[in-house]
Amino acid sequence: MSSSAAGQQYQPKTSVGRITNFVDTRVGGSAIVKEFGRKIFPDHWTFMFGEVALYSFVILLLSGTFLTFFFDPSMAETHYDGSYVPLRGIEMSMAYASSLDISFDIRGGLFMRQVHHWSALLFVAAVSVHMLRVFFTGAFRRPRELNWVIGGVLLILAMAAGFTGYSLPDDLLSGNGLRIIDGVVKSIPVVGTYISFFLFGGEFPGTVIIPRLYVLHILLIPALILLLIGIHLFLVVVHKHTQFPGPGRTNDNVVGFPVGPVYAAKAGGFFFIVFGIIAAISAAFTINPIWNYGPYDPSPVSAGTQPDWYIGWVDGALRLMPGVLGNFPFEWNIPFPWGTNTLSLNVLLPALVPAGIVFMLLFAWPWIEAWVTKDRREKHLLDRPRNAPTRTGIGVAGVVFYCVMWAAASSDLIATHFMVSLNDVTYWLRALLFIGPVVGFIAARRIALALQRKDREIVLHGRETGRIVRLPHGEFIEVHEPVDEYKRYKLVSFDSPEVLSAQPDVNGHVPKTEKRRAWASRFFFEDRVAPVTPAELEQAHSHGHHGEVASEHDKAAISSH
């Protein structure tokens, strides 16, 4: 090749092409697009929950950027002189006054406020449902344990972002929520009062809490969420996407569509669907009408106030906690050399223990299950929830545990709307907090096992058609049709771990940890339904009087011979 030919470079003919070529030759974008565009993503409706979370977060950033142009995060006092007549002349903070101005005086301001609030609710809901999907299908197993932990941290940050934003308007409702947080912080032994003074800049409510929450809400927390979303998506690409079992799908491949152009086009269209639904809800349904509550004042306490759903379970736990249980008080005065400190367990325990239990189990679960099964292999195929009955039961128990505390946050509204005693509502919810998860676990596991048995019956005997046929010798049977190969593969292709007994170490001793693991293995897998083996399937289909499996076509073929 001549030197002139070697030095010849591609020259685009259009201005767009020249700009694109300029960027590509300096950053190597085409190689990145080529590599990423070939990535295959499976197509299943449950995978859209993560997309909804991502798209709602984008909408949060867009609407939040608009709101920051007009919101004044100051607790300086002013007198309102805006368009909302009932509050005109009332003393309030600049934060609350600017929130009212956004709602009534800024063109499109109320709509953007509601878009921001509804998308925040949807963001936390989508992250929660996405985490439930990952849990129930076993997508957290090796090599995705760290991505599962990242998802849990994202859930906590989503709730933190929601709470900090919910508190910014400085209205009566958000102020009462901050008052609860102040009480929880002060219940921490010894250092609680100092933390509260540092957080609020003095005695509650202070004059600095709104600016500090504003910095957290628009800067620190969104930056952390963006960072973790980037890491999360990077690990999804590195580990490749999980997929449900099916013909041709193994732990070594991914069956689906490439990112470009199929998946990118579908994802883009789905983003605008999510955006449109949020916009429609925001235009039609009012949320957080701060003008009805008035500015925050520590003296009044409003009845019937409800926090956003993702924070309500902590409030519900506080409502369910008794102050005294029998003769046992939950508030102790402990003498120290510097004086007496009060330990308020009736506030500290419900505020920290339920959330601690939920998130500790959430973060540790991939390693707990790997320890029980002793299975360290990489898992890229998902489980149907029915095929992991104990895991499904534990997940349902956790959901029931959460929902009872969530309902307890509305105990006063339940009592007033159904005209029953508030004390009776509290007693029933306290009982459900302990009984409900147990009942939910037992019911979910038994239903999962029953569905497995039904799948086994369908594979062996076929699908019920509802047609009754009389045989020549007078017997009546219901004709069953065999399922197609795709359906059969779905019903028989799953792992069914067996109970692993305790194994001795090199010295022949069985350590206590191994005994506990063996007990957990029995608890997980003692009740199991094994998948149909090829031998069982062959025997079922070759049975001499297996009219249940043979279809009408098969019978006609047999009679013709």
d(CA 50, CA 129): 8
Whether 445 maps to a domain, the answer reads no
How far apart are alpha carbons 191 and 293 in whole angstroms?
33
Same domain, 196 and 300: yes
> Which of 347, 366, 383 lies at the terminal end of a domain, its last residue?
383
Q: Are residues 337 and 475 in the same domain?
A: no
- 390 lies in some domain: no
* Last residue in a domain, options 368, 383, 398: 383
Total number of domains constituting the chain: 2
Whether residues 460 and 343 share a domain: the answer is no
Judge if 205 and 345 occupy the same domain: yes
Give the structural domain span for 536: 453-559
Contact (Cβ atoms closer than 8 angstroms) between residue 395 and residue 132:
yes
Phi and psi based region of residue 330 (left: phi greater than 0; alpha: psi -120 to 50; beta: remaining): alpha
Residues 369 and 472 in one domain: no
Asked if the structure places residue 421 within a domain, the reply is no
- Domain end point (choices 329, 359, 383): 383
Q: How far apart are CA 374 and CA 524, in angstroms?
A: 13
Rounded CA separation 320/346 (Å): 10
| CA–CA–CA angle 402, 404, 407 (5° rounding) | 110
Q: Look at residue 79 and give its three-state secondary structure.
A: strand
Model's pTM, two decimal places? 0.89
Q: What is the pLDDT along the chain (561 residues), one digit of tens a residue?
A: 444 455 567 788 888 888 888 887 877 777 777 767 778 888 889 999 999 999 999 999 999 999 999 999 999 999 999 999 999 999 999 999 999 999 999 999 999 999 999 999 999 999 999 999 999 999 999 999 999 999 999 999 999 999 999 999 999 989 888 988 898 898 888 888 899 999 998 888 888 999 999 999 999 999 999 999 999 999 998 888 899 988 888 888 888 888 878 888 888 999 999 999 999 999 999 999 999 989 988 877 666 677 888 888 999 999 999 988 888 888 888 777 777 778 888 898 998 899 999 999 999 999 999 999 999 899 999 999 999 999 999 999 999 999 999 999 999 999 999 999 999 999 999 999 999 999 999 999 999 999 999 999 999 888 888 889 898 888 888 888 888 888 888 888 888 889 999 988 888 899 999 999 999 999 999 998 988 888 888 887 776 444 444 444 444 333 333
Closest listed residue to residue 208, CA positions, set 93, 103, 101, 92: 93
Q: How far, rounded to the nearest angstrom, does the alpha carbon of residue 322 sit from its chain's CA centroid?
A: 30
CATH number at residue 182: 1.20.810.10
Q: Give one DSSP letter per residue of 489-532, joined into a string.
A: HHHH-S--PPP------TTS---HHHHHHHHHHHHHHSS--PPP
